[in-house]
Copies of this chain bind each other. A is one copy, B any other.
């Protein structure tokens, strides 16, 4: 039987939201600019009014909607609160789920965006039918959603799964991370990490590369590195080799810890495709214990890019 839910992808810049059916179709979607609402109440007023319009515009009643799922930074599944999110306008602890519930009269479940992505893969994506798998999100940062026995891993306080802040360099001399630590995986294997690697290599070698001709070395993106690699640029290839080697090496650790059936990569950096995937798979295999060698596929999410975050969020309330 057909059922409907609302999914919210609350990001630092925009909040995207959509009406989703239980077949995994985003039927309608819209967005509002997150930063334009310094007061959380005003933000929720606007968001909920817009979501009601979306539902009505599709000729449905609010009673047709089974619930609302929301992926947001620093969202605590247990408490329904966003806690100390540095890139959102609202400081401290924000009871987001409660505020939405009050305005919509529907149950609302929140979690961080990587967990929402993992739930989306389990309900609508390539992890359908799987009970143990890991989703790694490779965007501005590195996040992760870990599914164990068919359920998202939240741990004692709701914040488990910060694999991006596990270290790939324990020397104390690794790259400085936004979290204050040095050597975190996300300083190397995020889109931002790739840009840092590009800058380091360009400044420390004389190797010819198309990337050197870009107007501003501080504005190089992972997309630039991809474009260069596609043109046969050897430095660009080296940058992805380095990134993939580090990520693959660390993925082997995660296999040893969690014994997943598969690992799914998600987010902007995965557009690098085989330039990144080949070194990832190679390094992971090299570093696996014999019992797991050749057994753990690493793939890129097959969910449609524009829909994935909204689908993932909605899947939190869809069985």
A residues touching B (Cβ–Cβ < 8 Å)? Answer: 83-84, 131-133, 146, 148-149, 151, 153-163, 165-170, 179-181, 246, 249-250, 253-254, 256-261, 287, 289-292, 295
Contact = CB atoms under 8 A, between A and B. Distances in A.
B156 A259 contact: yes
Given A148-B155, A170-B249, A290 B179 contact: yes
Contacts of A246: 170
A249 B167 contact: yes
Nearest to A131: B156
A256 B165 contact: yes
21 contacts: A132-B155, A132-B156, A146-B257, A148-B148, A148-B153, A149-B151, A153-B258, A155-B260, A159-B259, A159-B292, A162-B257, A162-B289, A165-B256, A166-B253, A166-B256, A167-B249, A168-B170, A170-B246, A179-B289, A181-B289, A257-B257
Contacts of A254: 257
A256 to B, nearest CB: 4
Secondary structure type dominating chain A contacts: loop
Contacts of A259: 154-162
Closest 4 CB pairs of A and B: A155-B259, A160-B259, A162-B256, A156-B261
Contacts of A179: 289-290
Given A132-B155, A157-B259, A181-B287, 7 more contacts: A132-B160, A133-B156, A155-B260, A156-B259, A160-B259, A168-B170, A257-B257
A62 to B, nearest CB: 33
A257 B170 contact: no
Contact of A155 (B84, B158, B258): B258
Contact of A163 (B131, B169, B256): B256
Contacts of A148: 148, 153, 155
A176 B303 CA distance: 41
Nearest to A249: B170
Contacts of A250: 170
A291 B79 CA distance: 15
Given A149-B151, A158-B259, A165 B132 contact: no
Contacts of A83: 291
A193 to B, nearest CB: 15
A39 to B, nearest CB: 25
A258 B290 contact: no
